Homo-oligomer: A and B are copies of this chain.
Amino acid sequence: MDEPDRRTLPFAGAPPSERADAARNRRRIIDAACRLVANRGTAALSLDEVAREAQLGVGTVYRRFGDRAGLLYALLDDGERRFQAAFTTGEPPLGPGAPAAERIRAFLHALVDQVATHRDLLLEAESAAPVARFSSGPYTVYRLHLSILLREARPAADPVFLADALLAPLSAAMIEYQRTQRGLSYADIKAGIDELLRLSGFLTR
């Protein structure tokens, strides 16, 4: 517990003073994991196997990534950076420039797409760390972004809670359930979100 808990900050990247061999091994582990995911799929990804493929001991894998969820989040890193850039500095309506209400809608729709794209990895990661998820780097960024937009669009006693409440139905598990059990398409899910926003007065019409 001395060093910062990397599991709760999976996107903090490498600590500033990481030894050269450690950095090299981090890369080797990520590369090995990507190879294995590409071949056998995410669900079958075992950390023992990753270690073998990377020609390292399992202890090294755990030292670098904390646990299974940590490695899975690290694998999501690239796509995540691009997504964050899109809604913080990209083109409107997702990026700055559009009215808050439109940005909220665009953000939630884009989040559905993001979940769709990384479906398998997200399902695994969420299920490996169901509570820690809410302290994970990406989720924290989403919540902050959305709560600011909500406050801008409409005064509220606790915009952060509202943000959590709007993000909750967009967990990978929930979306997977809506699709496979209820037979909804991603478009249906976006329509559901629109209805929720309309009822809440965040979307006019």
Q: List A residues at the B interface (Cβ < 8 Å).
A: 123, 126-127, 130-131, 133-135, 154, 156-158, 160-162, 164-165, 168-169, 171, 173-174, 176-178, 181-182, 184, 188-189, 191-192, 195-196, 199-202
The 7 closest A-B pairs by CB, nearest first: A168-B168, A161-B192, A134-B177, A165-B169, A127-B130, A168-B169, A199-B200
Report the minimum CB–CB distance from A1 to chain B (whole Å): 16
Q: How far is the CA of A154 from the CA of B196 in the complex (A)?
A: 12
Integer count of this chain's copies in the complex: 2
Q: Are B182 and A174 in contact (CB under 8 A)?
A: no
Q: Is the interface of A mostly helix, strand, loop or mixed?
A: helix
Q: Are B123 and A157 in contact (CB under 8 A)?
A: no
Q: Are B196 and A199 in contact (CB under 8 A)?
A: no
Identify the closest chain B residue to A168 (Cβ): B168
Q: Are A130 and B192 in contact (CB under 8 A)?
A: no
Q: Are B165 and A130 in contact (CB under 8 A)?
A: no
Q: Are B158 and A195 in contact (CB under 8 A)?
A: yes
**Among candidates B131, B156, B168, B192, residue contacting A127 with C-beta atoms closer than 8 Å:** B131
With a 10 A CB-CB cut-off, give which of A134, A135, A156, A176 has the most chain B CB atoms: A134
Report the minimum CB–CB distance from A119 to chain B (whole Å): 11
